[in-house]
Chain A
Amino acid sequence: MQLNRDTAIAIVSLLICGALLVSTFQMPEPMFNQMPATLWPRMIIVPLALLSLVLLAKAQMAGSDESTPIRSFSDWFSYYKNPIICFALFFLFLVSMPVLGMLIGGLLYVFITLNVLGGWSPQMLLRHGLVAVFFVVGMWTIFTQLLGVFLPEGILLRVY
């Protein structure tokens, strides 16, 4: 068996389909002759599994994918470094929301993301700081003061 990108996708997709199909058998029986809760998901899972098999077959017939170079983990990480860091920062932004709130958390998130993507030189720090303050505080003010939305305030800064 040739292991290329589409083969991996097809196998993962088949595993997901299998797990979900098994899960449908644990759902309650339908009542009053209505449509069972399992019918629609099964109508999706079965063709998805069939298409995954087609993808698997195509991937095997195509052989090794020469257009996609095989990368080591470090190569892969450096290739996707920016998106991975952005997602990690966004994750931290959400995790810290109950403590920092939307305003402080947002300021930190935007400021750090700007520096990670744009550079850490003193001039950049100043520019990124100004951008973060202007856009985050500006939008936070519009939402809280103008639109009356109660954004998470966190523990550090009580605004309401």
Chain B
Amino acid sequence: MILLRLVRLLVVLLVVTFLSYVLLNLLPGDPTTQILGLSASEEARAQLRAELSLDQPLTVRYLGWLGGLVTGDLGTSYITSVPVAEALAERLPVTLELLVAAQLIALGLAVPVGVAAARRAGRTLDQVLTTLSFGLLSTPVFVLGVVLILIFAVKLQVLPATGWTPISLDLGWNLTSVLLPAVTLGCGQMAVYARLLRTDLIATLQEDYITLARARGLSPRRILWRHALRPSAISLVTAVGLNLGALIGGTVIIETLFGLPGVGRLIVDSIFSRDYLTVQGGVVLISVGYVLVNFAVDLVYAAVDPRIRHA
């Protein structure tokens, strides 16, 4: 069972890396023009092409690059002369911290909101919460970020608008600098999760075993948290995994907006500086990370749902 999943994971990883590599290589435009500019001489171009192995067939280049990927070598940026893997490794902790903080905020808010709404489905509180989360869901992350900066950094001046303090330097300042970006990123996710949990809980609450739990005289609170939440949490876990893609897309914007030195910002900066290898490395890192996290979610899923665990 687990072996089959591992095989599938490997296939997906191969395809994902191949597509990332090939698509970015097949795109129109000569990378040498992009790197050297239009005025470069033909000799310089040829030299660069040989340097980048662009004169070899695509599959050969891919395999060579994949071999490097496995050993942690993504090439060296010819713009900054920094090894791509090193640059990414340096930026990764920032992005990870942002992602984890955003997920924690999103889940921490979504569970009580979803439960409160489901418990009083159709009543005023539910309608207010549902409307609010629908509004949040429809707010692009950069719009929310701009509004939050305007309120907390410009008007109230309680939180920094931009900047980053590494966790190793000062925990307090680190948390202060991650708070606003994480809230911005987490809010939209919160709405997604809360809506999902609400719908799922409402369905679960109509199950016979819930009616029977009520027939046994258990309190609504107990029924919600102990009987209904766990089956419903299963769909939530899946959503957390699937939404990671959206969340990662969000980090690119958040890091740019708040000036955080993460992977997303590195990718954007590299795009503008035409640092082609770094962009590729970043995209592959994110894609592979996303696939791996979803694989982990599948495993968690099995742990939460005994029906799957024993199947």
Same complex for A and B? Answer no
